[in-house]
Structure 1
Protein backbone atom coordinates (compact mmCIF):
# COMPACT_ATOMS: atom_id res chain seq x y z
CA UNK A 1 0.00 0.00 0.00
CA UNK A 2 1.29 3.43 -0.93
CA UNK A 3 0.09 6.25 1.34
CA UNK A 4 0.12 9.98 0.72
CA UNK A 5 3.18 10.10 -1.49
CA UNK A 6 5.54 8.57 1.08
CA UNK A 7 7.22 5.31 0.17
CA UNK A 8 9.24 2.96 2.37
CA UNK A 9 12.56 4.58 1.51
CA UNK A 10 11.26 8.07 2.30
CA UNK A 11 9.79 6.81 5.57
CA UNK A 12 13.12 5.21 6.48
CA UNK A 13 15.02 8.42 5.69
CA UNK A 14 12.49 10.47 7.66
CA UNK A 15 13.04 8.13 10.61
CA UNK A 16 16.79 8.73 10.42
CA UNK A 17 16.23 12.48 10.29
CA UNK A 18 13.94 12.28 13.32
CA UNK A 19 16.59 10.25 15.17
CA UNK A 20 19.17 12.94 14.46
CA UNK A 21 16.81 15.66 15.69
CA UNK A 22 16.14 13.59 18.82
CA UNK A 23 19.87 13.20 19.45
CA UNK A 24 20.35 16.96 19.10
CA UNK A 25 17.51 17.59 21.56
CA UNK A 26 19.01 15.34 24.26
CA UNK A 27 20.92 17.11 27.03
CA UNK A 28 24.68 16.66 27.03
CA UNK A 29 25.85 13.34 28.48
CA UNK A 30 26.95 13.41 32.12
CA UNK A 31 30.60 13.60 33.01
CA UNK A 32 31.57 15.88 30.16
CA UNK A 33 31.87 12.99 27.71
CA UNK A 34 31.67 13.58 23.99
CA UNK A 35 28.29 14.13 22.35
CA UNK A 36 26.24 11.00 21.80
CA UNK A 37 27.86 8.41 19.57
CA UNK A 38 26.53 5.18 18.12
CA UNK A 39 26.60 3.61 21.57
CA UNK A 40 23.95 6.08 22.71
CA UNK A 41 21.65 4.80 19.99
CA UNK A 42 22.22 1.29 21.30
CA UNK A 43 21.30 2.43 24.82
CA UNK A 44 18.13 4.07 23.51
CA UNK A 45 17.15 0.94 21.56
CA UNK A 46 17.69 -1.20 24.65
CA UNK A 47 15.80 1.29 26.85
CA UNK A 48 12.87 1.23 24.44
CA UNK A 49 12.80 -2.56 24.46
CA UNK A 50 12.88 -2.69 28.27
CA UNK A 51 10.09 -0.11 28.47
CA UNK A 52 7.88 -2.36 26.35
CA UNK A 53 8.50 -5.49 28.45
CA UNK A 54 8.68 -6.05 32.18
CA UNK A 55 11.21 -8.48 33.61
CA UNK A 56 13.26 -9.33 30.55
CA UNK A 57 16.78 -10.71 30.24
CA UNK A 58 19.81 -9.45 28.36
CA UNK A 59 19.61 -12.48 26.06
CA UNK A 60 15.95 -11.81 25.29
CA UNK A 61 16.69 -8.15 24.55
CA UNK A 62 19.54 -9.19 22.25
CA UNK A 63 17.27 -11.62 20.40
CA UNK A 64 14.51 -9.03 19.91
CA UNK A 65 16.76 -6.13 18.90
CA UNK A 66 19.34 -8.05 16.90
CA UNK A 67 22.13 -6.41 18.91
CA UNK A 68 25.10 -8.43 20.15
CA UNK A 69 24.62 -9.59 23.74
CA UNK A 70 27.80 -7.75 24.81
CA UNK A 71 26.36 -4.43 23.56
CA UNK A 72 23.07 -5.09 25.33
CA UNK A 73 24.93 -5.89 28.57
CA UNK A 74 26.88 -2.64 28.29
CA UNK A 75 23.71 -0.68 27.55
CA UNK A 76 21.90 -2.23 30.52
CA UNK A 77 24.86 -1.31 32.76
CA UNK A 78 24.69 2.30 31.53
CA UNK A 79 20.93 2.43 32.08
CA UNK A 80 21.34 0.99 35.56
CA UNK A 81 24.05 3.54 36.37
CA UNK A 82 21.73 6.33 35.17
CA UNK A 83 18.96 5.00 37.40
CA UNK A 84 16.71 4.11 34.46
CA UNK A 85 16.45 0.37 35.11
CA UNK A 86 16.71 -2.12 37.93
CA UNK A 87 18.00 -5.67 37.83
CA UNK A 88 17.10 -8.63 39.99
CA UNK A 89 17.88 -12.36 39.93
CA UNK A 90 15.40 -14.45 37.96
CA UNK A 91 13.52 -16.56 40.54
CA UNK A 92 13.24 -19.38 37.98
CA UNK A 93 16.99 -19.39 37.23
CA UNK A 94 19.10 -17.39 39.69
CA UNK A 95 22.01 -17.32 37.22
CA UNK A 96 20.01 -14.95 35.00
CA UNK A 97 19.23 -11.32 35.77
CA UNK A 98 15.87 -9.76 35.00
CA UNK A 99 15.82 -6.17 33.82
CA UNK A 100 12.88 -3.84 34.42
CA UNK A 101 12.23 -0.10 34.26
CA UNK A 102 12.94 1.70 37.51
CA UNK A 103 9.58 2.86 38.89
CA UNK A 104 11.29 5.93 40.38
CA UNK A 105 12.49 8.57 37.95
CA UNK A 106 16.16 9.40 38.48
CA UNK A 107 17.42 12.98 38.04
CA UNK A 108 19.11 12.00 34.75
CA UNK A 109 15.93 10.41 33.38
CA UNK A 110 13.95 13.50 34.39
CA UNK A 111 16.53 15.71 32.66
CA UNK A 112 16.31 13.68 29.44
CA UNK A 113 12.50 13.58 29.48
CA UNK A 114 12.27 17.32 30.15
CA UNK A 115 14.59 18.30 27.30
CA UNK A 116 12.64 20.31 24.76
CA UNK A 117 12.92 19.76 21.04
CA UNK A 118 12.15 23.27 19.81
CA UNK A 119 15.76 24.32 19.21
CA UNK A 120 16.66 21.06 17.48
CA UNK A 121 13.52 21.27 15.32
CA UNK A 122 14.25 24.89 14.39
CA UNK A 123 17.78 23.94 13.38
CA UNK A 124 16.55 21.00 11.29
CA UNK A 125 13.89 23.17 9.63
CA UNK A 126 16.32 26.01 9.06
CA UNK A 127 13.71 28.34 10.51
CA UNK A 128 12.34 29.43 13.87
CA UNK A 129 9.01 30.50 12.36
CA UNK A 130 6.48 29.77 15.13
CA UNK A 131 3.82 28.58 12.65
CA UNK A 132 6.18 26.08 11.02
CA UNK A 133 7.40 24.84 14.40
CA UNK A 134 3.81 24.46 15.61
CA UNK A 135 2.82 22.54 12.48
CA UNK A 136 5.75 20.11 12.75
CA UNK A 137 5.31 19.75 16.52
CA UNK A 138 1.62 18.93 16.02
CA UNK A 139 2.51 16.30 13.40
CA UNK A 140 5.09 14.77 15.76
CA UNK A 141 2.53 14.68 18.57
CA UNK A 142 0.09 12.78 16.32
CA UNK A 143 2.82 10.29 15.36
CA UNK A 144 3.86 9.87 19.00
CA UNK A 145 0.27 9.30 20.08
CA UNK A 146 -0.15 6.51 17.54
CA UNK A 147 3.31 4.96 17.18
CA UNK A 148 5.59 5.71 20.14
CA UNK A 149 6.24 3.14 22.87
CA UNK A 150 4.93 3.85 26.36
CA UNK A 151 6.62 6.87 27.90
CA UNK A 152 6.69 5.38 31.37
CA UNK A 153 9.74 3.27 30.54
CA UNK A 154 13.42 4.11 30.92
CA UNK A 155 15.26 6.82 29.10
CA UNK A 156 19.01 7.16 28.85
Structure 2
Protein backbone atom coordinates (compact mmCIF):
# COMPACT_ATOMS: atom_id res chain seq x y z
CA UNK A 1 0.00 0.00 0.00
CA UNK A 2 1.42 3.34 -1.01
CA UNK A 3 1.59 6.03 1.66
CA UNK A 4 -0.72 8.98 1.14
CA UNK A 5 1.31 11.10 3.55
CA UNK A 6 4.32 13.06 2.36
CA UNK A 7 7.83 12.44 3.62
CA UNK A 8 9.59 9.33 4.76
CA UNK A 9 10.77 8.38 8.21
CA UNK A 10 14.21 9.89 8.60
CA UNK A 11 13.58 12.94 6.39
CA UNK A 12 15.24 15.91 8.07
CA UNK A 13 14.71 19.67 7.96
CA UNK A 14 16.76 22.42 9.65
CA UNK A 15 16.64 26.08 10.64
CA UNK A 16 19.40 28.15 12.30
CA UNK A 17 19.44 31.54 14.01
CA UNK A 18 21.70 33.46 16.37
CA UNK A 19 19.90 34.71 19.48
CA UNK A 20 20.27 38.46 19.80
CA UNK A 21 19.53 40.64 22.77
CA UNK A 22 16.62 42.15 20.85
CA UNK A 23 15.12 38.66 20.40
CA UNK A 24 15.03 38.17 24.17
CA UNK A 25 13.61 41.63 24.93
CA UNK A 26 11.00 41.51 22.18
CA UNK A 27 9.91 38.04 23.30
CA UNK A 28 9.77 39.22 26.93
CA UNK A 29 7.64 42.18 25.90
CA UNK A 30 5.28 40.15 23.75
CA UNK A 31 4.76 37.42 26.37
CA UNK A 32 5.05 39.55 29.50
CA UNK A 33 7.69 37.15 30.84
CA UNK A 34 10.08 39.67 32.36
CA UNK A 35 11.74 37.19 34.69
CA UNK A 36 15.11 38.43 35.92
CA UNK A 37 16.56 35.26 34.39
CA UNK A 38 16.01 36.90 31.01
CA UNK A 39 16.30 40.67 31.57
CA UNK A 40 18.50 41.33 34.63
CA UNK A 41 22.23 40.80 34.08
CA UNK A 42 23.18 41.73 37.68
CA UNK A 43 20.69 39.26 39.12
CA UNK A 44 22.02 36.50 36.88
CA UNK A 45 25.64 37.19 37.87
CA UNK A 46 24.68 35.72 41.27
CA UNK A 47 23.53 32.44 39.73
CA UNK A 48 25.29 29.39 38.37
CA UNK A 49 24.69 30.71 34.85
CA UNK A 50 26.52 34.02 35.46
CA UNK A 51 24.57 35.74 32.64
CA UNK A 52 21.07 36.10 31.26
CA UNK A 53 19.43 33.14 29.58
CA UNK A 54 16.94 33.25 26.73
CA UNK A 55 13.41 31.99 27.27
CA UNK A 56 13.18 28.26 26.62
CA UNK A 57 9.90 28.83 24.85
CA UNK A 58 11.72 31.14 22.42
CA UNK A 59 13.67 28.10 21.23
CA UNK A 60 10.39 26.26 20.82
CA UNK A 61 9.28 29.13 18.60
CA UNK A 62 12.18 28.26 16.29
CA UNK A 63 10.91 24.67 16.29
CA UNK A 64 7.62 26.12 15.06
CA UNK A 65 9.50 27.90 12.28
CA UNK A 66 11.01 24.57 11.29
CA UNK A 67 7.65 22.80 11.37
CA UNK A 68 6.38 25.50 9.00
CA UNK A 69 9.26 24.67 6.65
CA UNK A 70 8.12 21.04 6.75
CA UNK A 71 4.48 21.99 6.15
CA UNK A 72 5.38 24.24 3.21
CA UNK A 73 7.17 21.32 1.52
CA UNK A 74 4.12 19.05 1.83
CA UNK A 75 1.95 18.71 -1.28
CA UNK A 76 -1.21 19.06 0.81
CA UNK A 77 -2.51 21.38 3.54
CA UNK A 78 -1.48 20.70 7.12
CA UNK A 79 -1.68 22.22 10.58
CA UNK A 80 0.36 21.86 13.73
CA UNK A 81 -1.33 19.60 16.26
CA UNK A 82 1.11 20.60 18.97
CA UNK A 83 4.21 19.54 20.82
CA UNK A 84 4.81 16.69 23.24
CA UNK A 85 7.68 15.81 25.56
CA UNK A 86 9.16 19.33 25.54
CA UNK A 87 12.32 19.65 27.63
CA UNK A 88 14.71 22.56 28.10
CA UNK A 89 17.85 20.57 28.86
CA UNK A 90 20.54 23.27 28.61
CA UNK A 91 20.36 27.06 28.95
CA UNK A 92 20.46 29.24 25.86
CA UNK A 93 22.47 32.43 26.12
CA UNK A 94 22.35 35.66 24.14
CA UNK A 95 24.78 35.20 21.28
CA UNK A 96 24.22 31.45 20.94
CA UNK A 97 23.50 30.18 17.46
CA UNK A 98 20.76 27.58 17.56
CA UNK A 99 20.08 24.93 14.97
CA UNK A 100 16.74 23.15 14.96
CA UNK A 101 16.78 19.68 13.45
CA UNK A 102 13.32 18.29 12.68
CA UNK A 103 13.30 14.60 11.74
CA UNK A 104 10.23 12.67 10.63
CA UNK A 105 10.13 9.89 13.23
CA UNK A 106 6.74 8.25 12.60
CA UNK A 107 3.79 8.28 10.25
CA UNK A 108 0.19 7.66 11.33
CA UNK A 109 -1.59 6.96 8.05
CA UNK A 110 -4.90 6.21 9.79
CA UNK A 111 -5.07 9.69 11.33
CA UNK A 112 -3.13 11.56 8.60
CA UNK A 113 -0.33 12.66 10.94
CA UNK A 114 3.44 12.62 11.11
CA UNK A 115 5.49 12.88 14.28
CA UNK A 116 8.70 14.88 14.12
CA UNK A 117 11.54 14.57 16.60
CA UNK A 118 12.95 18.01 17.35
CA UNK A 119 16.45 18.62 18.62
CA UNK A 120 17.76 22.14 19.13
CA UNK A 121 21.50 22.49 19.53
CA UNK A 122 23.81 25.43 20.13
CA UNK A 123 26.93 26.33 18.15
CA UNK A 124 28.94 23.79 20.17
CA UNK A 125 26.60 20.94 19.26
CA UNK A 126 25.14 20.81 22.77
CA UNK A 127 21.47 19.86 22.94
CA UNK A 128 19.43 22.68 24.49
CA UNK A 129 15.80 21.78 23.74
CA UNK A 130 14.03 18.60 22.65
CA UNK A 131 10.42 17.89 21.75
CA UNK A 132 8.13 15.95 19.48
CA UNK A 133 5.86 17.72 17.00
CA UNK A 134 2.62 16.44 15.49
CA UNK A 135 1.69 17.59 11.99
CA UNK A 136 -1.85 16.84 10.79
CA UNK A 137 -2.45 16.63 7.03
CA UNK A 138 -5.61 17.11 4.98
CA UNK A 139 -5.20 14.94 1.86
Which band: TM-score by shorter chain? Answer: under 0.3
TM-score by length of 1: 0.25
More helix by share: 1
When normalised by structure 2's length, the TM-score is 0.27
